[in-house]
Structures are given as structure tokens and as C-alpha cells.
Amino acid sequence: VCGLMGIPDQMAGAPTHWANYYVVENNDAACEIAKANGGTVVAEPWDTLFGRMSAIADPGGATLMLCQLPDEQP
């Protein structure tokens, strides 16, 4: 499955890119785990119609997106 979207305000300045999304049960907790293991939070969690999203990077700078699905799907 893929989709096309504009870059959200939370990621202003990011270059055009492909983003891999990983579903997590708790986005805020996943960001804390990433930070505790040397990663950085590129975009703090924010709410969308599709769930609570965030972007994290590993210590080498590779990024990925996290998505906590909403209780009810749109």
C-alpha cells in the first residue's frame, strides 16, 4: 500500500522523500524508547485522521515514521 501526501508542518524543511510507516501501539512511548536508545525524534507525535504520527531517526540519521492507529478507522 502506498500514498502521496504533502509534507506536514511538523516536518517543514525536510526534503522530498519516501517514508516507511511502522504501526506501534503507543507512539509517545515508542518515541521515548527511540531516544533512550540513541535515536532522535525528528517530528514529535501529532494527531491525524489516520492516527498519531511521528518521525524518528537512528543514530546514523536514517528516518522512519511511526503510526499509532486510531481506535476507530475513518
49 within domain boundaries: yes
11 within domain boundaries: no
Report the C-alpha gap between 12 and 73 in whole angstroms: 27
30 within domain boundaries: yes
Q: What is the pLDDT, as a whole number, of residue 35?
A: 98
52 within domain boundaries: yes
Count of domains forming the chain: 1
Strand order through the sheet with 51-57: 21-23, 63-68, 51-57, 40-48
Q: Is the pLDDT of residue 73 over 70?
A: no
pLDDT-derived band at 5 (thresholds 50, 70, 90) equals low
Using one digit for the tens of pLDDT, what is the confidence trace for 10-48?
A: 677 777 777 889 999 999 999 999 999 999 999 999 998
CATH number, position 45 = 3.10.180.10
- For 33, the domain range is 26-74
37 within domain boundaries: yes
46 within domain boundaries: yes
Q: What is the pLDDT, as a whole number, of residue 15?
A: 73
Report the C-alpha gap between 71 and 58 in whole angstroms: 28
Report the C-alpha gap between 51 and 45 in whole angstroms: 10
62 within domain boundaries: yes
Q: What is the pLDDT, as a whole number, of residue 4?
A: 67
